[in-house]
Amino acid sequence: MTNFYEAVEILKETLTAIRRADKLIEKALETNSHPSAISDMAESCSRLKAKLEEEMEELQSAIDTGGR
């Protein structure tokens, strides 16, 4: 089970990093530097963030129910 919990921690760290990147992308969009590239990056980041948040909810549910 140690590997499982370590994997969960890595996913949490990844989600935190994606959230930070999302905020930085928003700030970059406000300054209008490279708007097309930043817009594409923002879309990718948002999709990744949503998917990872969904996965984290499922993992947390599995942990809460003892993996059932």
Residue 33's pLDDT is what?
65
Residue 10's pLDDT is what?
85
Residue 7's pLDDT is what?
80
Q: Give me the residue spans of the domains in the chain.
A: 2-63
Residue 67's pLDDT is what?
60
Question: What beta strand segments (E) does 1-68 contain?
Answer: none
CA distance 40 to 17: 18
First-residue to last-residue Cα distance in the chain: 14
- Each residue's pLDDT, cut to its tens digit, for the chain (68 residues) gives 678 788 888 888 888 888 888 888 878 777 776 677 777 877 888 888 888 888 888 888 888 887 65
